[in-house]
Copies of this chain bind each other. A is one copy, B any other.
Amino acid sequence: MLRFTAPLRNYPSHSEVMDIAPCAPKRRSETNPVYLDYPPRSFPSPVTASAPRASALLTKLSAFGQLDVNEIEVLNLLSRNAKPMRSEQMLIHEGSPTSSIYLIVSGLACRYKMLCDGRRQILGYLLPGDLCDIHFAIANKPDHSVALIGDSSVAQIPISRITELMLRYPRISRALTLASLVDSVILREWLLSVGQRDAMQKLCHFFCEMAVRLEAVGGINDDGSFELPVNQVTLADTLGLTPVHINRTLQRLRNEGLIRLCQRRLAILDRERLATIAGFDGAYLQLGLAAG
């Protein structure tokens, strides 16, 4: 197996323009909801572009095949009694058995593992419509933790309920299985990213993935931007880099006019070029269509 010397260090550039303010930390009230960071009193109503009709879960599962009215009803019911929860809230503790699984209705969560020396690797993100691992139902000892990033609304569902659904509605069962297949496809793509891509490519790839996945559940604003309540430390833990290096890489991206990341909101300004840098395809997220 040859390994070609990879020249692509100098990413397609645009350096003439530097119009994008690097997230000017001074002026506030730029545009969007001030994101309350830690222990504030008021609770911001969970903002997702598509709150109203179809739950994100339904939107997501529908991509895997037609569902009938009954099934749609049942799925929407799951999101009904979602509760607001604070950022940092843990849903699953590595090693501690759970008897329920969680559905992210709006907001963001992540899976992660920690090393004994305190290093952390984030293993994946849970977006609206994502269920945190049906498989915890079987393997009673979760091998990793799940925690919220940013305030979210989450429905807690007894495992028995899911089991029941899967028995009664084969099409839901199939869709859930396919969804968890996509999860492992994503996981493999991450391993590729963390193992082989450089900092710039990692960041671009991550942003592309989030954009596509959020788009699928209607989490993208009209102006093309979306909520991404991750700080630079979290990004570092996601991509296997240090916060400092994330910071510098982000600045390059901003200076190149590729993104705007500000107030926990990301706007991808040049999706095309971002994808080129990352070598992002997106087909890997399309299992739904492929198998549908």
A residues adjacent to B (C-beta < 8 A): 1-4, 6-8, 111, 113, 115-121, 123, 135, 138-141, 143-144, 177-178, 181, 184-185, 187-192, 194-197, 233, 239-240, 279, 284, 287, 290-291
Q: Which residue in B3, B116, B144, B233 is a CB contact (below 8 Å) of A188?
A: B144
A139-B290, A190-B191, A291-B139 known; A3 vs B113 contact (CB < 8 Å):
no
Give complex CA distance A189, B123 in Å: 9
A181 touches B138 (CB 8 A): yes
Q: Is B117 a contact of A6 with CB atoms below 8 Å? A: yes
Complexed CA–CA distance, A6 and B120 (Å) = 12
Taken together as a complex, chains A and B put the C-alpha atoms of A190 and B287 apart, in Å, by 23
List chain B residues, Cβ under 8 A from A140.
Answer: 290-291
New A-B contacts (12) at CB < 8 Å, excluding given A1-B120, A3-B118, A144-B188: A4-B118, A6-B117, A113-B189, A115-B279, A116-B279, A121-B191, A121-B195, A123-B188, A138-B291, A139-B181, A191-B191, A195-B239
- Cβ-closest chain B residue relative to A290: B141
Which residues from B are CB-within-8-Å of A6? Answer: 117-119
Residues of B within 8 A of A188 (CB): 111, 113, 123, 143-144, 187
Residues of B within 8 A of A111 (CB): 188
- What is the bound-complex CA distance between A201 and B111, given in angstroms? 22
- Closest CB-CB distance, A263 to chain B, in whole Å? 21
Q: List 12 A-B contacts (CB under 8 A).
A: A3-B118, A3-B119, A3-B233, A6-B118, A8-B117, A113-B189, A119-B196, A121-B192, A138-B177, A138-B178, A138-B181, A194-B195
